[in-house]
Structure 1
């Protein structure tokens, strides 16, 4: 699919985009290139491809899932002006 200048101006009007006559050839070239790229995705050879997590055939090295930090809530909240049930209390900023 490719657009002509009449269709481009119609789409620009519907989109409320001002397009100068001098911009039309460049915009047509850009939009037609985008549409040509989108048409490549309709290739039937792409129908049976499995989704990929990464474009390279690599595995992600993972670290062991071990606890490395200890609970220091009481020490960190010791200097807080107000704490309730383990949570910092802050002044209300939004009126209800």
Structure 2
């Protein structure tokens, strides 16, 4: 595919690029070369090539998919900031959460 100066000027305008008039002809040649190279790639037979999600053949370690609380609620709640009050997770009424001062009036 060969591009002319008008097509390159239109592409530059659509890409919001300011290309001086004297650079349009050389740029058209460079872009035409790139498109010719891409057309060569289209000629390669890839029918027996499996699609890739990654170039490295590594599988991620999997864990059992089960819902847990993490088992560290007391340690997490111990990180309460200065204005927050730690509520013991064994307190069934509070449920093991942070209580914080009211911010919005």
* TM tier relative to shorter chain: 0.5 to 0.7
Q: Where does residue 42 of structure 2 map in the other structure?
A: 42
Aligned equivalents of 2:102 and 2:22: distance in 1?
56
Cα RMSD over matched residues?
Answer: 4.0
User: Per-residue displacement from partner, 1:20-63 (whole Å, max 9, x unpaired)?
Assistant: 023224422442233234323432612442113444xx642765
Q: Map of 1:1-96 to 2, 5 A cutoff?
A: 1-43=1-43, 45-55=45-55, 59-60=57-58, 65=63, 71-80=71-80, 81=84, 85=95
| Cα separation, partners in 2 of 1:13 and 1:75, compared to 1, 3 Å | closer
Q: Which has the larger radius of gyration?
A: 2
**TM-score normalised according to structure 2 size:** 0.50
Segments of structure 1 that go 5 or more residues without pairing to the other structure are none
Stretches of structure 2 that go unaligned for 5 or more consecutive residues are 65-69, 87-93
